[in-house]
Amino acid sequence: MSEDRMRMILFLSGSSAMLLFCLTPFLYMVIISLSGNPDFLSTKVSFEPNLDNYILILTNSTLHFPDYMLNSLIVSGMSALICVLTASLAAYAITRLPVPGKVFILLFVLAVSMFPQISLVGYLFKLMTNLGWINTYRALTLPYVAWILPLSLWILVSYFSQIPGELDKAALIDGCSRWQILIKVIFPVAAPGIFSTLLLAFIFAFNEFLFALMLTTDHGARTIPVGIASFQGLHGELPWGTIMAASTTATIPLLILTMVFQRRIIQGLTRGAVKG
Amino acid sequence: MRLRLVGITKKFLSFRARGAALDGLSFEVKDGEFFVIVGPSGCGKSTLLNIIAGLEKPTEGEVWFDDKPVASHKQGIFVSPRKRNVAMVFQSYALYPHLNVFENIAFPLRVTRLDKRQLDDSVRGAADKMGISHLLAVRPKELSGGERQRVAIARAIVRQPNLFLLDEPLSNLDARLRLATRTELKILQRSLGVTTVYVTHDQVEAMTLGDKIAVIKSGRLQQVGTPMELYDKPANPFVAGFIGSPPMNIYETRLTFDGTAAQVKIGGETIQVPDSLCQPLGNFKDRDIVLGIRPEHVSLKPDAGPGLKAKIDSIEPLGRETLVHLRVGSESISMLSTDTTLREEDVVRIHPDMDKAHVFSLESAGG
Amino acid sequence: MRQHTFGQRKEALLFILPLALFLGVFVLTPVAGTIIGGMFRDTTFLKKEFIFLDNYRTLFADAAFRQSFRFTLLFVAVSVPLELALGTVFALLVNQPPVRFRTALRVSVLIPWAIPAAISGRIWELIYNYNFGLANYLLSALGIRSEPVNWLGNDMSAFFSLVAADAWKTTPFMAIILLAGLQAIPTELYQQAEIDGAGFLKRFIRVTLPILKPVMVVALVFRTIDAIRIFDIVYVITHGGPGGSTSSLSLYAYKYFLAGDFGYGSAVSFILFLTALGLSLIYINLGAFRKEFRKELP
């Protein structure tokens, strides 16, 4: 057997196994969400796909699913925007201005990113309680920004440091101030990188669980992961169909982002992790 | 505009910082002059250009534009680059990748908020002058190296700067284009009449372009002068060896006086040195000197008589002439010759024209 | 990056100020608060009182805490190497597939990563369902075992159920990082190896692995530090059960916070913090990391 053929067989069997592993749970979620009875696998009841679960979560006002979803989108969106803006400013200074102790700042920020969330959340809970901010968007957004900042900073520093320094000089000579350079040159030139970072920041914020669990109390600010994790249904027994419908719906924005921007996401992640 | 530098010194505090230090440089560039700063890489010439542009602050010294100081350590003056109205062309051209050619050229005008029609006219005028009017809608990454360079120059001339600064603008072009662009740059500068400071490591570029040339080595000014002054009267062995191609033959040797004439030894053979050469050294009795002879001033001596016996090491045909590397005893010497019958390993007699040789004191070689 | 000496330091610091404020107020102060809080008796009903290290004394005598600590370390020790191995295989598969599969493969691998952990926890909770979960269905459908397994009902299977769920969620991340490492390997190296007569496996061992090693170290430690604070999946799937056998340190501390015991919860959190910090310090000082890191510094 030729090596090419062997390699092809290896690749095909390996990829099939990989796809099976990656996609089965996901497809399982979708299938259950479309079924009226989640136990159809064991009870020989026939599987009849319907959208009842979806209709329920979107229309039943006591489940508050649309509220959770909206909260998640708003909190993640705001966090990502503020975070990337803050990180861009810092990354600009670190890569292009005479900041003392750049290496120390970057290492320190890296160390910060390794703190366990649990070591912040107790204090944050008290802080937000004292401020009367529990169950508000800002109670989530502000810690989220801080939480995602290290990663964003590292990714952006990596992108910014690839912009040649001569561009800054040219802009300075062309009459730009520091701010103008940032806005007219660095931001547009680094736009793809900034966009990747924005995407990642959004996804990370959307995924966050512990802060949202501690700092919200109900549908006023509770995000979708917490909403789904604490989903008890209306009558005792866990309504798996409904939960999976909610899970599928919550996953849709992330899936769209992932599919459309797959290359950007991979690029951003590898910058943040491997190259620094 | 007249540019004057007084005692420019630049020290870098951090050892991580790249860029060479400068040590007390002073010179003047006259209005409309094409002034070239030349030196080996790492000599500080780009730092100097940055200081003129205002991209870096001098640690000590002053920069004057006409009668106005734009940077002065003593008076605590530092005018930022945006207020100096200088234009700069970078080695990498530094075009804004996110803007098309039109917007690249328009960039300095947009920052100053020029009105629309005036801006449009200026941009098209500059593009016309550089012959890139057909490229206005294109992004830099689709341009060839030569076209990028034209855009960079158009961006520089569009704002009618006081001072035109060029940092190795030709070094990213291929050899043929470099030659053509060199000529064009010179013509452009003449027609604009803008005071120009041009940095390069290539002495041929310096010689062909400059009205005046400043040679810098290790952050120190070696000599300022017209191309011919540098060629004919180099101030020290460094300038002598750096200016001129092929490079000058340089020997550390000893000047002795045998009662009638001064003489030196090259590779064990003795040559007489005319008095006129020794006079600048003052008392030339038995002292160590540096002797320089240009290859073009060495010739073959077919018949016997005074001359050096040399063996040919290698031959490099240059076209019209041939560069011949020879060996005199333990020393090597190169010469330009039109004789095409020479072969490697031949033993010939050569004659250095000592009237055109250069003699430097050993101290001058230290700087 | 070139060093620019123009510009003012004050101006530069102004650009960093927002970042410093966010990190200061919402990360550093909370950590300090946790450290200090760990030295207090601070519960809902009792008066707040400084007790210095008493919480820690109680902690080390607390069997449930020791169990949490053991679980957390064991979880890291089992799941991270597994994910590294799996991630390497994934990365190799995704690296140079026939072009028409490439995007589809990469998106598929990214899906588990993009789904929030809490939601993937729910999916796996259902998969492990005793009565009608996919896991038991597959076991009987494939004829491996007719009796259903109570996956989350005993210590051992609950532990491995969590490991599997975590591997599903995080292997893609591992794969992506390793993929970047793979793509940095110049093709000439493979061609050279092929000319030298090295086979498929030999090329992997002789060329790929050694070059990938520094990236693997980075990925490994990143994941280690991430895995040590595991919370979401445990919270959703087992909630620490059965009998506290799968309670991670984060979950354990959370339960005290939830019950209003901030002193003790803080003390537990601080222990986890120290463990993570220790690991990050090791990380930062790793040679392989340093090398990768230096390249990027301005």
Summarize pLDDT for A5-44 with one digit per residue, the tens.
877 888 888 889 999 999 999 999 998 898 877 777 666 6
- What is the structure's pLDDT at A72? 95
Q: Which residues of A fall within a CB distance of 8 Å from B91?
A: 166
Is A89's CB within 8 Å of C16's CB?
yes
Q: Does B169 touch chain A (CB under 8 A)?
A: no
- What is the structure's pLDDT at C4? 41
Q: Closest Cα partner for C74 from C146, C190, C159?
A: C159
Is C229's CB within 8 Å of A116's CB?
yes
Residue of C nearest to B11 (CA): C5
Residue of C nearest to B13 (CA): C5
From the CA of B104, how many Å to the nearest CA of chain C? 23
Q: Could you tell me if C291 and C214 are in contact, meaning their C-beta atoms sit under 8 angstroms apart? A: yes
In sequence order, which residues have a C-beta less than 8 Å from that of residue B290 and are 6 or more positions away? Answer: B237, B250, B251, B252, B253, B359, B360, B361, B362, B364, B365
Residue A229 CA to residue A216 CA, distance in Å, equals 13
Q: Closest Cα partner for B87 from B52, B36, B44, B39?
A: B52
Q: Which residues of C fall within a CB distance of 8 Å from A24?
A: 134
Which among B90, B96, B107 has CB closest to A169?
B90
Residue A26 identity: F
Residue of C nearest to A266 (CA): C176
Residue-wise pLDDT tens for chain A (276 aa)?
577 787 788 888 888 999 999 999 999 999 889 887 777 766 666 677 888 889 888 888 888 899 999 999 999 999 999 999 999 999 999 998 888 888 888 888 888 888 899 999 999 999 999 999 999 999 999 999 999 999 999 889 988 988 998 999 999 999 888 889 999 999 999 998 999 999 999 999 999 999 999 999 988 899 999 999 988 766 667 788 889 999 999 999 898 988 888 888 888 887 765 543
Query: Tokens in use for C128?
Result: 């492990």
For chain B, the first-to-last Cα distance in angstroms comes to 31
Output the CA torsion C58→C61→C67→C70 (10° steps). 100
Q: Closest Cα partner for C5 from A187, B3, B54?
A: B54
Cα dihedral across residues A228, A233, A237, A239: positive or negative: negative
Name the average pLDDT for chain B: 88
Distances (CA, A) of B232 to B71, B279, B292: 35, 16, 12
Q: Does C101 touch chain A (CB under 8 A)?
A: yes
Q: What is the pTM of this model?
A: 0.85
> Residue B327 pairs with which residues in a beta bridge?
B311, B332
Summarize pLDDT for B284-303 with one digit per residue, the tens.
567 788 899 999 999 887 76
Q: Which residues of C fall within a CB distance of 8 Å from B17?
A: 3, 5
Mean pLDDT of B89-98: 92
Is C6's CB within 8 Å of B55's CB?
yes
Helices (H), B272-327: 275-278
Residue C150 CA to residue B182 CA, distance in Å, equals 83
Q: Does C9 touch chain B (CB under 8 A)?
A: no
Residue B249 CA to residue B267 CA, distance in Å, equals 13
Q: Closest Cα partner for A18 from C177, C90, C134, C79?
A: C90
Q: Could you tell me if B96 and A189 are in contact, meaning their C-beta atoms sit under 8 angstroms apart? A: yes
Check if CATH label 1.10.3720.10 holds for domain C38-116+169-296: yes
Residue B31 CA to residue B249 CA, distance in Å, equals 36
Q: Which domains does chain A have, with CATH numbers?
A: 56-271 (1.10.3720.10)
Which among B12, B14, B57 has CB closest to C6?
B57
Q: Which residues of B fall within a CB distance of 8 Å from C5?
A: 12, 17, 56-57
> What order of strands is seen across the sheet that includes strand B68-72?
B22-29, B3-10, B60-65, B68-72, B77-78
Q: Three-state SS string across B97-109, please? A: CCCCHHHHHHHHH
Residue C207 CA to residue C209 CA, distance in Å, equals 6
Is C272's CB within 8 Å of A116's CB?
yes
Write the ipTM: 0.89
Cα dihedral across residues B336, B341, B342, B347: positive or negative: negative
- Nearest-5° angle of CA A168, CA A187, CA A166? 15
Query: For chain C, which residues make up each domain, given as ranges?
Result: 38-116+169-296
Residue of C nearest to B19 (CA): C3
Residue of C nearest to B18 (CA): C3
Q: Which residues of A fall within a CB distance of 8 Å from B97?
A: 189
Residue B185 CA to residue B182 CA, distance in Å, equals 5
Burial zone of A195 (CB within 10 Å; 0-12 exposed, 13-18 middle, 19+ buried):
middle
Q: Does C240 touch chain A (CB under 8 A)?
A: no
Mutate to test the interface with B, among A96, A160, A173 (most CBs of B within 10 A): A173
Beta-carbon count within 10 A of B87 CB: 26
Q: Closest Cα partner for B171 from B3, B53, B38, B81?
A: B38
Is A15's CB within 8 Å of C93's CB?
yes
Q: Could you tell me if B284 and B257 are in contact, meaning their C-beta atoms sit under 8 angstroms apart? A: yes
Summarize pLDDT for B254-270 with one digit per residue, the tens.
888 777 778 888 888 88
What are chain A's partners, defined as 3 or more CB pairs within 8 angstroms? B, C
Q: Which residues of A fall within a CB distance of 8 Å from B50?
A: 169
Is C126's CB within 8 Å of A226's CB?
no
Q: How far is CA B11 from the centre of its chain?
A: 23
Mean pLDDT of B16-38: 85
Which among C12, C92, C112 has CB closest to A93?
C12
From the CA of A151, how many Å to the nearest CA of chain C? 12
Element (H, E) at B223: strand B220-225
Residue-wise pLDDT tens for chain C (298 aa)?
333 444 567 778 889 999 999 999 999 999 999 999 989 888 877 778 888 888 899 888 999 999 999 999 999 999 999 999 999 999 988 887 777 778 888 888 889 999 999 999 999 999 998 888 889 888 888 888 878 888 888 889 999 999 999 999 999 989 988 888 888 787 777 777 777 777 777 778 888 888 888 788 878 888 888 899 999 999 999 988 788 899 999 999 999 999 989 999 999 999 999 988 887 777 667 655 565 555 544 4
pLDDT band at B366 (very low <50, low <70, confident <90, very high): low
Residue A34 CA to residue C156 CA, distance in Å, equals 33
Distances (CA, A) of B37 to A173, B84, B175, C252: 20, 20, 21, 70
Question: Where are the extended beta strands (E) located within B307-353?
Answer: 308-317, 322-328, 331-337, 347-352
Q: Does B18 touch chain C (CB under 8 A)?
A: yes
Is A116's CB within 8 Å of C2's CB?
no
Q: What DSSP string describes B128-157?
A: HHTT-GGGTTS-GGGS-HHHHHHHHHHHHH
Summarize pLDDT for B38-92 with one digit per residue, the tens.
999 888 898 999 999 999 889 999 999 999 999 998 888 899 888 899 999 999 8
Residue C174 CA to residue C224 CA, distance in Å, equals 11
Q: Does B88 touch chain A (CB under 8 A)?
A: yes
Query: Tokens in use for C68?
Result: 């949490």
